[in-house]
Amino acid sequence: MRFFLLGILCVLVNGPVISSDGSASQQSIDVKSAKRLEPINNVGKNPNYRSYFPQAPVVHAYDPSLFGADLKDFPVIVKFKVDTMRQYLPDEIAKVIHDKNDDNMDLYWVPQIRDTNNPNLMRYHYWLSPNGSTWHRGDVWSRVSKTPSGLTLKGNRDSIQEVNVHDNVSSPDNYSIQDLLPDEPQSLAFWSFVKNSATNRHAVTLHWLLTWSDNACLAKIADSAKNLGDIGDWVSLLPTLSKLYHFAF
């Protein structure tokens, strides 16, 4: 029944792309077992901002309350095993991390709603200070880059900017990617890479910024999925989500 209801929802949101019984078997994509069984929603919450955000890099306005952010805006969050997934990363990312040790790197997939009313900023704070404590660093290097295919950013950018956490607030008002986003209010995907020089740790994140309808559909898929392979099978059938790049399905 849940798959039938999921099929109805995504038909209403994205168009008639699956069979009437909700089955994805005829068009499911072939992915390797290591990818299919990757666990989902295995990332904890950062205690700041009422625990709205995961302990991973995300995107939001300087004042997230302008958007009414809530963890439900993140339909699924995945932290991958770097040693098994490194081989599937695109060349652009592989070049950046080729000399980085697996034990010093975190690899995420973070889909969320795209805010089309406020400036979009990279917020690395929830990964840099996962327990939400005061954190200050003036030389945090990061990169945002286009995906090799699908709907993505207009260009790439490297930055070295200040990052600090104080009074349970992520500051300052910087790391904007607003000018890199497509003008059309569509869903898109892009990569971010950030280095914590204090700990010599790195985070690589595939971000999906989604329309409200795409986010709702992905949330329903994630609720019904047992693993990442299930999500990949469903996403491959949907006209908008299937246009977004992903390395893991």
Mean pLDDT, consecutive 10-residue stretches, the chain (249 aa), reads: 54 42 34 59 90 93 76 83 89 90 95 93 95 86 95 95 90 95 96 91 96 94 89 92 91
Other residues' Cβ atoms within 10 Å of the Cβ of residue 25: 8
Specify if 112 maps to a domain.
yes
Give pLDDT, residue 31.
Answer: 39
Specify if 247 maps to a domain.
no
Specify if 121 maps to a domain.
yes
Percentage of the chain exceeding pLDDT 70: 83
Specify if 42 maps to a domain.
yes
Q: Please say whether the beta carbons of 213 and 15 come within 8 A.
A: no
Token reading at 3: 């798959």
Give pLDDT, residue 20.
Answer: 31
Q: Please say whether the beta carbons of 55 and 45 come within 8 A.
A: yes
In total, how many domains does the chain have? 1
Give pLDDT, residue 40.
Answer: 82
Specify if 116 maps to a domain.
yes
Q: Please say whether the beta carbons of 203 and 125 come within 8 A.
A: no
Percentage of the chain exceeding pLDDT 90: 59
Give pLDDT, residue 192.
Answer: 97
Give pLDDT, residue 164.
Answer: 92
Specify if 3 maps to a domain.
no
Give pLDDT, residue 249.
Answer: 78
Residue 47: exposure state from Cβ atoms within 10 A (0-12, 13-18, ≥19) = middle
Give pLDDT, residue 168.
Answer: 87
The whole-model pTM stands at 0.87
Q: How many residues comprise the chain? A: 249
Q: Give a three-class secondary structure readout of 5-57.
A: HHHHHHHHHHCCCCCCCCCCCCCCCCCCHHHHCCCCCCCCECCHHHHCCECCC
Domain that holds residue 107: 31-223
Give pLDDT, residue 138.
Answer: 76
Q: Please say whether the beta carbons of 56 and 124 come within 8 A.
A: no
Q: Please say whether the beta carbons of 60 and 175 come within 8 A.
A: no
Specify if 100 maps to a domain.
yes
Alpha carbons 124 and 54: distance in angstroms, whole number:
11
Give pLDDT, residue 10.
Answer: 63
